[in-house]
Amino acid sequence: MSNATQSIEAGGFAANAGWSGQLWLPGLIAAASWAATAVVTVALPDVVPWGSAGLFAILTGAGAAALVVLALAVPRLGAAGRTIVHYGPWFIAVGVWFFLWELTTAKFGWLPKPFFSPPHGLLAVYVAEWERLLICIGYSLRLWGLGFFSGIAVGFVVGVALGWSKGFSYWGMPILKLIGPVPATAWIPVTFYFFPTTFHASIFIVALSAGIPVAILTASGVAAVNRSYYDVARTLGADSRFLVLKVAVPASLPHVFVGLFMGLYYSFAVLVVAEMLGAKYGLGWYIQFQTAYSGYANVYATLIIMALICAGLVKLLFVGRDRLLAWQKGIL
């Protein structure tokens, strides 16, 4: 690459990033918002005590200092610097949000306790309850993992059968269409009769919520495979097993992943209800327990944990999809 081209690209990067001289201006603005949050947290008294205000001020102050450093160092970070610049507006938005959140809850009391909590109130929950929350996370991941993976396994097999076999589809698709619109939680009374423990009933509820969208989307994907693919494979001597495993399933994977994404979200939504069926630990159980005692700060802190876990799993699923379907780039 010529020096002229490098100069043009560097100039475009600087313009898009909001550079002024040697400073990344959005980074400085974000640092100012985070620093303002730290100052407000310790300088103004709380309407009611929440705890962990000092720790929150230290964390936001450290964030402000880190942003100042990034404002000076981003041009030297290459691809990582471009990623940081891309999320610059988010750094500003989060700092402003923390600032307004602190003022409206802890400092002015416009959003009163116990229905609303300031950010350092949620931090106090994590500091005081981290051991119990870790146990709850472990229990929830165990329940969700058993339910989700068993559900998508059964849903995938059923979906392939529905999409491949006209006879199976004749009898199975109407049943699936009848069960599909019914919320998984509506089957709770039935699960109490057929399953020996509430834990097994909870697994079934989560599996049902994840398996149905996978079955429907897989069946749609298999049925939509171009028939010319089968004709070419048969011409080359392929049997039915080869047609299913090597033609129908790979070609239907984009539909399968759509079903997986839907099943992931549905299963997390059902997880909270499933853990209310007599569980002794779990994030859903913890939410129910704290709600009964008006511990809404604990509830919000737990919801944030669940959102982060779900977002992380979705990210992993995206990575898995991109790697597994890399061979289809340029085809789809």
pLDDT per residue as tens digits for the range 304-332 = 999 999 999 999 999 998 888 876 665 54
Q: Alpha-carbon distance 166 to 154, whole Å? A: 19
Same domain, 159 and 307: yes
Rounded to whole angstroms, what are the CA distances from 270 to 20, 118, 137?
50, 28, 15
12 within a domain of the structure (yes/no): yes
**Residues facing residue 24 across a β-bridge:** 19
Q: Give the number of other Cβ atoms within 10 Å of residue 81's Cβ.
A: 17
Which residues have CB under 8 Å from 222's CB, separation 6+?
A: 159, 160, 162, 163, 164, 248, 249, 252
CATH number of the domain within which 200 lies: 1.10.3720.10
Same domain, 167 and 211: yes
Same domain, 105 and 149: no
- Domain end position, chosen among 83, 113, 143: 113
284 within a domain of the structure (yes/no): yes
330 within a domain of the structure (yes/no): no
Helix axis angle, 88-102 to 79-86, nearest 10°? 40
Domain span including residue 28: 3-113
Q: Alpha-carbon distance 164 to 209, whole Å? A: 23
329 within a domain of the structure (yes/no): no
Q: Alpha-carbon distance 156 to 69, whole Å? A: 49
Same domain, 169 and 281: yes
- Domain end position, chosen among 113, 146, 164: 113
Please report the pLDDT score of residue 316 as a whole number: 93
- Rounded to two decimals, the pTM is 0.83
19 within a domain of the structure (yes/no): yes
pLDDT at 8 over 50: no
Same domain, 184 and 249: yes
Model confidence over 118-129: pLDDT tens digits?
999 999 999 999
Please report the pLDDT score of residue 280 as a whole number: 78
Which of 65, 56, 63 is CA-nearest to residue 106?
56
Model confidence over 127-158: pLDDT tens digits?
999 999 999 999 999 999 999 999 999 999 99
Q: Alpha-carbon distance 275 to 2, whole Å? A: 61
Number of domains into which the chain is organized: 2
Cα dihedral angle (34, 36, 42, 43), rounded to 10 degrees?
180
